Structure 1
């Protein structure tokens, strides 16, 4: 299993755990080392970060990734926010925005839910 698959699995678990606790974001810290890139954080074959560097996490629609020393990466997802009463939450408005601006969600309030 790839490092990123492990991270994705961690996010699913954290989202389930934190889902009922208000508007908290899921935060994971995982070591993503690769001997071909010593001292760096290797999120996938296209995302290699140096300590102190931040950016969007790959393969997640909207999440931040921050590289620390020893190839430790902190990944943070958007806070869980309940949709307005009578509305259904839809997709992110614009996943091309930087984190956390990409967290904005759209809602469907056209039917009584």
Structure 2
């Protein structure tokens, strides 16, 4: 099992947007957070896992924010090609959202091969 912490306020995955030219893109705030997630993952993963994995995510917020499933999507997308080759490999998921005033905002991640 591998565990690590993604420091700072988590960012829920935002819906894709259409640019003026009609191209679809991921909003900058989501893209930057996914890069932060990837950086944290690179500190503990040398190579991505093959095969099914279990993902456990604990999201800590000082005040209410987005939906838990959108936080999870940011984490999964940020760890593609780092913790696993594709987030379709996540076949078991356990997640929690904890809102407590004054808490140090972060995400705790645990990943295990199945």
State the TM-score, normalizing by the size of structure 2: 0.30
- Greater relative contact order (Cα 8 A, min sep 6): structure 1 or 2? 2
State the TM-score, normalizing by the size of structure 1: 0.30
Structure with higher helix content = 2
Pick the structure with greater CA Rg: 1
